Structure 1
Amino acid sequence: MPDRPTPDAALTRLLAIMARLRAPDGCPWDQVQDFGTIAPYTIEEAYEVADAIRRGPDFPALLDELGDLLFQVVYHAQMASELGHFGFAEVAEAISAKMIRRHPHVFGEAAARDASTQTAAWEVQKAAEREARAENGTLAGLPLGLPALTRAAKLTRRAARIGFDWPDAAAVLDKLEEEAAELRAELPGAEPARLADEVGDLLFVLANLARKLDLDPEECLRAANAKFERRFGGVEARLAARGVAPADASLEAMEAEWQAVKTEEKQGL
């Protein structure tokens, strides 16, 4: 087995590669990027890391995707350095200081805590940090770039800490029915802005329902997406076996195949 590179050497090489790409005689594409154009790639790479983990984890893929994600951090740090703000070393030092500050029971004199107590202490520390940044209010500091369902659950989890919450999941279901009725009432007029508002309310309540059931709304929707892909693929396969192209099949025929695929899944076929 070949010797593993040292972290210092590997990181130094990566930083040098990034600087070279952004140099005047570097890569034309990399030279013209900025924080706004790179940010979507950063988010995409984080999702690809999560996907590799969900697949087992798939360690070869995880190795590759973690590298891609690290490159995103290096990319942003390089651009900030070029503008005279900070470099990668400051990024690493900042997160190190934050972790030490948030773990006084490990790095300081405070007594050790169990997991639940530590979670509460972590939230207190984060609240203090938000206050120091003048991010006042119960809902302050939640990134706008979070997936909307995740952010909805986090917003209401914050509100629930001070008692602004439904009593149970059944109450959320009542609210869901109310929002569905409001959406139905808007359908005859079909004004896009009103429909968007009502659909947003419906999704927001659904995110809350998942939270009240201790479920991650993003994971729920991700699983539903996977189920739809799997079942629709089964519909196409059944149609192909009969020599029918999906585009040529009637809605009734596709629905019949859909129900057949669902039945097969439930029976474990």
Structure 2
Amino acid sequence: MASQLQRLVEVMDRLRSPGGCPWDAEQTHESLVKYLLEESYEFIDSVDAKDREGMREELGDVLLQVYFHSRIAQDHPTDPFSIEDVAQAIADKLIRRHPHVFKGLQVSGTEEIIENWEEIKAKEKGRTSALDGVALAQPALPLVEKLLYRAEKYKVNVELTNYQSNKPATEESVGEALASIIAWARDNEIDPENALRLYGRQIAEQIKAAESR
């Protein structure tokens, strides 16, 4: 029996080839980005709902996006790559970044595993700045969280207003505080996503300034 993954390769090739589907044939990486985001969010919804059937279906939709982009990449005139290249790259990366599994490196626990991963990643990418590799196009909340994490990791001081609350910090109380801030922004006709993204850029500028000293 042929691999279903190989079958998907063949289906995508048929759709993108002459005589296939005109819509599929005209798609680009840029035109498909919104679908990758949409399918990812739908998978998250199915996880939150503990919907096993939905998870299987939505993972298939996410997988389609990976194969679709890879098939488009095959047609690049100067720098083509295929799903095989994508799979090889991620498999090689996993082996390199898990030396405790594939090279017998002794580790004390998960914290050291994460530290090793970050160190190996930094060496591979040649990263020297706290901002290297931060996806600035991601939603504002994870962006700011990532920037603060990187600033702490690279020991860059970031000036922030200290939030005060008489409640202990729990997921519920933090969620309530964030929701209150969003409501406050809406009451004042301010887009909270844009506001946080703008502040994230200010944090990034603080990091750049600190690193240039």
Are 1:109 and 2:104 an aligned pair? Answer: yes
Inter-partner Cα distance in structure 2 for 1:116 and 1:126: 15
Are 1:130 and 2:139 an aligned pair? Answer: no
For structure 1, the residue ranges without an aligned partner over 5 or more in a row are 1-5, 175-179, 209-269
- Partner of 2:114 in structure 1? 119
Amino acid aligned to 2:71: Q
Inter-partner Cα distance in structure 2 for 1:108 and 1:47: 36
What TM-score results when the alignment is normalised by the length of structure 2? 0.73
> Aligned with 2:27: secondary structure?
coil
Inter-partner Cα distance in structure 2 for 1:202 and 1:93: 35
For structure 2, the residue ranges without an aligned partner over 5 or more in a row are 166-180, 204-213
> Aligned with 1:164: secondary structure?
coil
Inter-partner Cα distance in structure 1 for 2:32 and 2:196: 31
Are 1:67 and 2:60 an aligned pair? Answer: yes
Amino acid aligned to 2:85: E
- Partner of 1:78 in structure 2? 71
- Partner of 2:206 in structure 1? none
**Aligned pairs, number:** 179
Amino acid aligned to 1:85: P
What TM-score results when the alignment is normalised by the length of structure 1? 0.59
Task: Quote the RMSD (CA, aligned, Å).
Answer: 3.2
Going by fraction, where is helix more abundant, 1 or 2? 1
- Partner of 1:98 in structure 2? 93
Greater C-alpha Rg: 1
CA contact (8 A) 1:102 1:125 kept: yes
Amino acid aligned to 2:26: V
Q: Which has the higher contact order (CA 8 A, sep 6+)?
A: 2
Percentage of identical aligned residues: 34
Inter-partner Cα distance in structure 1 for 2:137 and 2:196: 19
Inter-partner Cα distance in structure 1 for 2:21 and 2:143: 36
Inter-partner Cα distance in structure 1 for 2:119 and 2:4: 36
- Partner of 1:49 in structure 2? 43
